[in-house]
Structure 1
Amino acid sequence: MAVYVALFVLIAGAAGALTVTAETPEISFDNPDFVVSSGDQIDANGESYTVADITESEPDDDGQTTMSAVLEREEEAELSETWSNGDTVEIDDNEWRVEIDGDEPTAFTLVEVFDRQAILEADDTADNETIERDDGEYVAVTDESGDTTLVPAEEYFPAPDERSYEAGDTFEYNNETVTVDAVTADGAVVVWQGVQTTAVELEEESTVTLGGSEYVAHFSDASTLTLSTDIEAYEAQAAEIEQFNQYTSGLFRVVLLGILSTVLLLAVAFVPTRY
């Protein structure tokens, strides 16, 4: 019994020593293409990117965290908006209603929208609400003598300004010169040249194409992103780490089995005999 106990202790000790002394392999590159932190610039074959953010997730149930990064690129692009019939847009600090008539329209109209409530509240002689009658909408206006007169709403409120545009026309919108690209029954399309921001999200081992080249992402620490075109080297090192983890897990099982076997043998040794 003593021999078996010693044997299991020896095996468990050897496995434990190997587990403790083994150095965990880490991924590294001899000559990475980019090693960057938040705020750094990346110039990949003429395409410029900014490292907008590098973050570490909250630990999961197993205590593991994951790293991620966001790359942003700003580039000139044709931007567009589609305005449907009845939509409201803001131009020159005023609101305008889009009106498109007919099944095959060639133009659309912007009709100025007044804040009728604000106009009524600013007029001390008028009620703050309009009055509906069978023949239309009215505003109650009281003169200096106290007499109240019902004024038709279309006469009381100022006539809205109207602007019509067809394909090819230009006007100012959101500090941009926009061009009417098309007008259909579904809506009016306006286009302009602007700056478009494209975001690319990266995680450990993810690949991304920047400037026509493919890179693999690796986070050496919580604030550093490494990008390399040597994807084969990364995959080989990742496979080595996976194999190391499997060996470590196996050695841990050996240690656990050795300890349990030792305890079991010692327990059996002290069981009193019946003879």
Structure 2
Amino acid sequence: MQRRAAIISVVFFLVIGAGAYSLIATASTPAVSFENPEYSLAQGDEFSVPDSDQAFNVSSITEEEESGGHGGGTTLVRSGEITYVNESSRFTESWDNASTVTLDGTDYRIEIENVSDPSEATLVELRNDTAILQNDPNADNETVTRDGERYVVVNDSTLVPAEEYFPANETRTIAEGDSFSYNNESVTVAAVESSGVTIEWFAAEEKTITVDNEANVTVGGQQYLAYFPDGETLVLTQNYNSYEAQVHSIEEFHLFENGLWGVVIVAFTTVVLLAGMAFMPSRY
């Protein structure tokens, strides 16, 4: 009688456990999807956004496996990059006081007057005396010093004072707002300070926007939710309500699924215990 009751109970729990497991096995995990998103893009696609005449390009879409560590398995991580060209990016360069800068093939030393609020800087040519001597067939390649004075030896014997032989150092004065050519760019003096000079210029520059999965991204002043349904597609949408509702449904599904796994575990554990107890030898 005891064994018969145990067998009935075993069958009962087997049916419950099998039913719960069949629900788990046949259920499909819901995934986020959007109907008519603002953009559904592949790598290489070009697009524009409202209120902006800027062209954007999906330069890359990547899908990589990342290890969870400590035996946690791997996770697919999707991301991408959007690039665009800013035609008027601002570039700056600083020239420290007493440093050297090359303009039009000539080296200059930056000299700024030691005052609290300088208004200009002087560029003093760094004359290449050695090159001048080497280019003069009538002069020795090195200067000589006599009685503390520096001379150039010309025609093997004539001593010409260096300050007379060499041309005067060229000087240039620059102030805030002045423009000139530098490294094939038209630059403007943005600031003159006691510590140095800052120049600026504007030119085209390619910029990159990093896009993470299920994260906000701002493109052309517009904010979108970025979603990668697969390793080849980038979806940009502003339908946040739909996304939040779908995420909530997925969380409820996993909660229900975990509950079913609990039923399976309890049911089959009970079956094992009942079966063991039913066939234990009687003491009488």
Retained in 1: the 8 A contact 2:46–2:58?
yes
How far 1:218 moved relative to its partner?
0.7
What's the TM-score, normalizing by structure 2? 0.74
Retained in 1: the 8 A contact 2:130–2:141?
no
- Give the SS at the match of 1:264: helix
Query: Quick one: structure 1 residues 243 and 161, their matched pair in 2 at CA, closer, same or farther if it must change by over 3 Å?
Result: farther
Structure 1: distance between partners of 2:126 and 2:277: 93
Query: Quick one: structure 1 residues 5 and 167, their matched pair in 2 at CA, closer, same or farther if it must change by over 3 Å?
Result: same
Unaligned runs of 5+ in 2: 1-5, 133-139, 143-147, 151-161
Matches within 5 A, 1:9-158: 9-45=14-50, 46=52, 47-61=54-68, 62=72, 63-75=74-86, 76-89=88-101, 91-92=103-104, 97-103=109-115, 104-110=117-123
- Give the SS at the match of 1:12: helix
What's the TM-score, normalizing by structure 1? 0.76
How far 1:259 moved relative to its partner?
2.3
- Give the SS at the match of 2:37: coil
Superposed CA RMSD: 4.1
- The one-letter amino acid of 2:67's match is D
Query: Quick one: structure 1 residues 25 and 109, their matched pair in 2 at CA, closer, same or farther if it must change by over 3 Å?
Result: same
Larger radius of gyration: 2
The percentage of counterpart residues that share the same residue type is 36
Counterpart selection for 1:225 from 225, 230, 234: 234
How far 1:43 moved relative to its partner?
0.4
Structure 2: distance between partners of 1:42 and 1:51: 8
Query: Quick one: structure 1 residues 253 and 114, their matched pair in 2 at CA, closer, same or farther if it must change by over 3 Å?
Result: farther
Structure 1: distance between partners of 2:268 and 2:168: 93
Structure 2: distance between partners of 1:223 and 1:64: 17
Query: Quick one: structure 1 residues 88 and 39, their matched pair in 2 at CA, closer, same or farther if it must change by over 3 Å?
Result: farther
Query: Quick one: structure 1 residues 245 and 88, their matched pair in 2 at CA, closer, same or farther if it must change by over 3 Å?
Result: farther
Unaligned runs of 5+ in 1: 120-124, 128-134, 139-152
1:133-153 Cα shifts (integer Å, max 9, x gaps): xx9xx9xxxxxxxxxxxxxx9
Structure 1: distance between partners of 2:277 and 2:263: 21
Q: Where do 4+ consecutive residues of structure 1 move more than 6 Å?
A: 113-119, 157-160
